[in-house]
Amino acid sequence: MVEGNAAGYPGYQPPESFWRALWKIHSACGLDVPRFPDDAAAAAIENLKHLTGLAKLADTRAIIDRQTTEEWKRRRQRSGAASAGGITNQGEN
């Protein structure tokens, strides 16, 4: 039977720095741990920066999506015309 070690002093609580270090170790191990308010605020700011960066790329994404769709349609039309014309080697277009 394993017995737990009690704290050396009645009512003793480890300092906050101990808990922060422990939670950082748990976090590094991939465990889900609670955050201190200032840590949560820092994470929220980082998330906001990331989302803002993604929002700035929305216009670029729309352009790339449009260009991809147009190119896909052109290639489909070419392959349809090639098969209708009896061309078997599409690399010679």
Rounded to an integer, what distance in angstroms lies between the CA atom of residue 56 and that of residue 77? 33
Q: How far is CA 69 from the centre of its chain?
A: 26
- The tokens for 88 are 């078997």
Residue pair 57/65 in contact by the 8 Å Cβ criterion = no
Q: How is residue 71 annotated by DSSP?
A: H
0.75 exceeded by pTM: no
Q: How is residue 63 annotated by DSSP?
A: H
Rounded to an integer, what distance in angstroms lies between the CA atom of residue 54 and that of residue 52? 5
For the chain, domain boundaries: 16-83
Q: Please name the amino acid found at residue 43.
A: A
One pLDDT digit (tens) per residue for the chain, 93 residues: 445 555 556 677 888 888 888 888 877 876 665 567 777 788 888 888 988 888 889 889 999 999 999 999 999 999 887 666 655 555 544
